[in-house]
Amino acid sequence: MLHMPAEWEPHARTWMAFPPPNQTFGEEGGPDLARARTAWSTVANTIARFEPVTVAVTREDAPVARALLSPDVGLAEMPLDDAWLRDSGPTFVRSPDALHAVDWIFNGWGAQSWARWDHDAKVATTVAGLAGVPVTSSSITQEGGAFHVDGEGTVLLTDTVQLDPDRNPGWTREDVEAEIHARLGTRTAIWLPRGLTADYGEFGTRGHVDIVAAFTRPGTVVVHTQTDPGHPDHAVSQEVSAILRDATDASGRRLEVIELLAPERHESDHSYVNHYVANGVVVLCAFDDPRDEQAKAVLQAAYPGREVVLVDARDIFAFGGGIHCITQQQPR
């Protein structure tokens, strides 16, 4: 029986990828690519203070990566199309006596017109090979940011990702649950109707759950909460919160919902929910916003005993995601 540990359980390392030139980041030598590489490297260097980090990088980009990354960060050369390793990389799970990797089918977030995935569709098996763990292939098309587990049998999903006709045409909720439960060792799925509004834009994922809701421990979930009635995410966050408050997890507990207030500035889908939990640390998205410190206090209470480190994520969100989207944990 395979089982996906919760993100807050001990890690062996974090995997990331170094942004290559592409349609999202722009051309080699351009200012956008430089911004992305600096932002990704800052996250990697921060995590490396707490646990090992390995960054996937193309052979051509390895010298640039080495110059930006801490000497403590390892490099693993491989072909890449993009740099969202949460999505293209493997999901690590445990059996009673070994670590395994799940290779989901990856098709560029629903075969989006700008996406290329010839290389990224193979990243999961490449990373698993470097980690020295066997791979289990899944029949479902999805990404690592499209679900979130509590480590005790409960998984969060969204209708617009797992039931996306450009990902899984003809699949029902029952089909999805059967496959995901088999791969992650979960037994209870809580379905959310959609993600944040901006996630349906040009470079969005069409509803990844890890930007709207996340478990912080079994029985407790943080929810992106937009307090401005004029913002399109106000209704979204109200609906998501209501569904989660009415939900029970795999152990039969009614969920405790903690509101994580959205940044006051509304440039995009900025969300504090999209944080990353590593050994001894919570790496939290910062936006030079008045609510940065408030979010830090909420997550400090949610993860007692861990240091909460704010890292400017504006140059990550500008390309379509956050800190959680660019990181993938390998459990110890």
- Based on the structure, what is the number of domains in the chain? 1
What is the amino acid identity at position 188? T
276-278/281-286 β-pairing: antiparallel
pLDDT of the residue at 233: 95
Instruction: Give the domain extent around 284.
Output: 11-331
Please confirm, yes or no, whether 325 is among the known catalytic residues.
Answer: yes
**Both structure tokens of 127:** 């990373």
Domain for residue 163, yes or no?
yes
pLDDT of the residue at 267: 64
CA distance 119 to 264: 38
Domain for residue 6, yes or no?
no
- In sequence order, the 6+-apart residues with CB closer than 8 A to the CB of 206 are 109, 110, 160, 161, 164, 195, 199, 200
pLDDT of the residue at 45: 98
Domain for residue 207, yes or no?
yes
Which sign, positive or negative, has the C-alpha torsion 316, 107, 160, 324?
Answer: negative
CA distance 183 to 216: 22
Question: pLDDT digit of tens for each residue in the chain (332 aa)?
Answer: 899 999 999 999 999 999 999 999 999 999 999 999 999 999 999 999 999 999 999 999 999 999 999 999 999 999 999 999 999 999 999 999 999 999 999 999 999 999 999 999 999 999 999 999 999 999 999 999 999 999 999 999 999 999 999 999 999 999 999 999 999 999 999 999 999 999 998 889 999 999 999 999 999 999 999 999 999 999 999 999 999 999 999 999 999 999 999 999 866 679 999 999 999 999 999 999 999 999 999 999 999 999 999 999 999 999 999 999 999 999 99
pTM over 0.75: yes
Domain for residue 5, yes or no?
no
Domain for residue 169, yes or no?
yes
pLDDT of the residue at 202: 85
pLDDT of the residue at 52: 98
pLDDT of the residue at 203: 85
Domain for residue 4, yes or no?
no
How far out from the chain centre does Cα 19 lie? 16
- In sequence order, the 6+-apart residues with CB closer than 8 A to the CB of 109 are 87, 115, 143, 204, 205, 206
Catalytic residue among 161, 213, 285, 325: 325
Total Cβ atoms within 10 A of residue 46: 19
pLDDT of the residue at 269: 79
Residue 254 sits in a domain whose CATH number is 3.75.10.10
